[in-house]
Amino acid sequence: MESWLASKLPPGSAPQVSALEVPSSNGMSSETVLFGANWREQGRTRTESLVARVAPDAAAVPVFPVYDLECQFQVMRLVGANTTVPVPHVYWSEPDSGPLGAPFFVMKRVEGQVPPDIMPYNFGSWVSEATAEEQARLQKSSVNVLARLHEIAQPERTFAFLQSKQPEPTALRRQVAELWAYYEWVREDLRVPLIERCFTWLQEHWPKDEGETVLSWGDARIGNIMYRQFEPVAVFDWEMAALGPRELDLGWMIFMHRFFEDIAAKMGLPGMPHFLRRDDVAATYESLSGHTPRDLDFYTMYAALRHGIIMSRIQRRAIHFGEATMPEDVDDLIMHRATLEAMLAGTYWK
């Protein structure tokens, strides 16, 4: 790592790397390596705490077919340059697998607290144990991240590299086509009837007005935000970034909290039913952005479907490694099968 860092710095920098650490992570999309580094710069020693995001090993049956870390690097760089959204400063992107065994990029390390996924933050954590005022501050500031991202001017020009290659006439139709292509990759030799029913539902309930195209963060959930004093200090995980309607991010943020709430309810835990409620998120977003969210039945279904495909891949991955067995009913590959069925029936949000 030191020799690689030396190749990125001016001659005579003499970098030293220390305190390498691989922490537990909220995501399965890439590995995270924490390390310290110091080097000579303008006659002084510069010390930085850094993070390397490393692409997963293809032999580990990754969740997604492609990990374009250069794309993530560029998204973070441009978000940092065009908004006040707190993305970590990115330093270098390395497409060569030589130094760490896989492509990676390096960004500045930020200190703070991240709402946990394991066990979920609504099971009992610094988030659920916060005061009502602190939780409200976290909720509003998180929705504000979306409002600020969606303000970026001319996103289709600034983020032209995110343009989908799907031959569809609108950004939303291209996103759904991309999701179908992902499902085709995930399913391999199996068809999952519930997933295909949900795709049919989307086609039958298509928004009449898709609205303007914005930069969509993609994995827009509080588990991908680091906080201090219940305010965001770093926004992570941009591998699902795309161009599409504002409601893609809103639907994902709303659904992902509700997903954890449904698990808490099954386990007899109190959860956080007052937090990130659908109508509250929509109202907060409108007050911050001036845009009235619409078609949230569609966008929360899209989010639940997308998550269902991801979860089926994770389950197939567990089966591959002998950690689970194939269910008799392939719809049971989806952890939140009951949620999708209730959405199809029109009863989930009642």
Catalytic residues: 219
Within 10 angstroms of residue 251's Cβ, the number of other Cβ atoms is: 26
Question: Tokens at residue 312, please?
Answer: 């089926």
Q: CA angle 94-107-69, nearest 5°?
A: 40
Q: How far is C-alpha 238 from the geometric centre of its chain's CA atoms?
A: 6
- In total, the chain counts a number of residues equal to 350
CB-based contact 87:76 (threshold 8 Å): yes
The pairs formed by 85-89 with CB atoms below 8 angstroms and a separation of 24 or more are: 85/145, 85/148, 85/149, 85/232, 85/235, 86/110, 86/232, 86/233, 86/234, 86/235, 87/234, 87/235, 88/51, 88/234, 88/236
Could you give the CA distance from residue 31 to residue 153 in angstroms, rounded to a whole number?
32
Q: Please give the Cα distance from 312 to 306 (Å, whole number).
A: 10
Q: Are 105 and 70 in contact (CB under 8 A)?
A: yes
Task: Give which of 65, 28, 55, 60 is closest to 320, Cα–Cα.
Answer: 60
Q: How many CB atoms lie within 10 A of CB 109?
A: 15
Measured from the Cβ of residue 190, the count of other Cβ atoms closer than 10 Å reads: 11
Q: Contact 113/226 with Cβ under 8 angstroms?
A: yes
Token pair, residue 122, equals 């609504």
Contact 197, 334 (CB under 8 A): no
Q: In angstroms, rounded to a whole number, what is the distance separating the alpha carbons of residues 342 and 350?
A: 10
What is the maximum span of the chain, computed from C-alpha positions, in angstroms?
Answer: 68
